[in-house]
Amino acid sequence: MKPNQLLLFVHIVVAVLLLCTLGNAWIPPNFIGGLNLLSLGFPYLIALYFLLTLVWVFQRKKIAIAFAAGTLLFYNPVRRWVNISPKTEKAENFKTVRNIKVLTFNVKYGDFGWDKVKKYITDQDADIILVQEKDTNKVIRKDMVKYPSVILKTKHKILRQEALIEDQARGNSFFADVDINGKIIRVVNVYLEPFRLHKSMFKFDGLAKEGGKIATLLSHMTPTFKAHEEQIKKIRKVIDFSPYPVILAGDFNSVPNSYEYYSLGKDLQDAFLSVGNGGSSSFHDYKVPLRIDYIFSSKSIIPLSYKVDQSVKLSDHYPVIAEFLLN
């Protein structure tokens, strides 16, 4: 096989794999679980696709036009990882009594120091605070909705709350209807089933052991993806039948372009896509770009700002903060 033929074959394979990640919008993990695994590799696949396209451009081959046009299919999928939003009005220009600030933060059970975490959260002065992986032995429980792994604290009145994921699941989610200065918002705190991975699974110990490690990883990940599908059904029900606008946030334990992202974000807007800028990576423990923490809202709630606060390392997750104007 000639070099250009091999190059074309590799480029087509990469393009097909990228197209398969788009299938997560329709195909659930219990039907084809491998598509969700592909979503984890999206940043690397799209980088390789761009690189191969440049090779065709430098060779001045007409096929470069086709592959360059193909990049348009992945415009929004790329923006879910790295975004350059159009200029919007600053949040400071919309200071009204119906502005709200939302903070979501997986605190890893306070392993990095609960007092520091607590101080950081307090300093943000957010209207709605959503926490995942709380430590039930250390956390201050006053004025908090109490569920096994997740909590909500708010300055405003909670009218109703209800657990969404119970049974023996390791993930926990709930919703609360919150009265914010006369405007009722349904707030959904999402913490989907965690994978329970550890760093040793990603260390290279020689080719002989890699097959076993890959099998171990798959044994953790594929059943978890399937568990997510069942948990999402319960979460979607309270979104779809909500009589109020919705703010949905938390730790999805899933990357953009995954089934979880598409399903939970259906008919909602990703605040990062609307007003975020730069990288969106919110999980830093494995030294690879992973965005698994999100803030979504109904389209009647206007996003004003979005920030992944990568200046603090009080957990293996970064806090995610967004401000909204209640329309």
Give dist(CA 300, CA 310) in Å, integer.
Answer: 29
Checking if the pLDDT of 125 tops 70, the result is yes
Cα torsion angle, 20, 21, 27, 28, sign: positive
Q: What is the pLDDT of residue 262?
A: 94
Provide the strand spans (E) within 145-239. Answer: 145-146, 150-154, 157-163, 174-180, 183-191
Q: What is the average pLDDT value for the chain, to the nearest integer?
A: 83
Mean local confidence (pLDDT), 226-255: 93
147-203 pLDDT tens trace = 445 777 888 888 988 888 765 556 778 899 999 988 999 999 999 988 765 555 445
Q: What is the pLDDT of residue 302?
A: 92
Q: Which CATH superfamily is domain 95-326 in?
A: Endonuclease/exonuclease/phosphatase (3.60.10.10)
Q: What is the pLDDT of residue 112?
A: 83
295-308 pLDDT tens trace = 999 999 999 999 99
Q: What is the pLDDT of residue 233?
A: 92
Give dist(CA 195, CA 220) in Å, integer.
Answer: 6
For residue 228, the surrounding DSSP H or E stretch is helix 207-240
Please tell me which residue, 145 or 314, carries the higher pLDDT value. Answer: 314
Confidence of residue 80 (pLDDT cuts 50, 70, 90): very high
Tokens of 249: 């946030």
What radius of gyration do the chain's Cα atoms show? 21
Instruction: Using alpha carbons, list the distances in angstroms from residue 253 to 10, 52, 129, 187, 290.
Output: 30, 31, 19, 19, 10
Mean local confidence (pLDDT), 104-123: 87
Q: Are strands 293-297 and 183-191 parallel, antiparallel or unpaired?
A: unpaired
142-160 pLDDT tens trace = 444 444 457 778 888 889 8
Tokens of 69: 């046009």
8-64 pLDDT tens trace = 999 999 999 999 999 998 888 888 777 888 888 899 999 999 999 999 898 888 888
Mean local confidence (pLDDT), 286-290: 77
Give the pTM: 0.86
Angle subtended by helix axes 42-58 and 3-22, to nearest 10: 140
Give domain limits for the chain: 3-79, 95-326
- Are the C-beta atoms of 156 and 181 separated by less than 8 Å? yes
Q: What is the pLDDT of residue 133?
A: 83
Residue 278: how many CA atoms within 13 Å on its side-chain side? 8
Instruction: Using alpha carbons, list the distances in angstroms from residue 297 to 51, 68, 186, 211, 244.
Output: 35, 33, 10, 42, 11
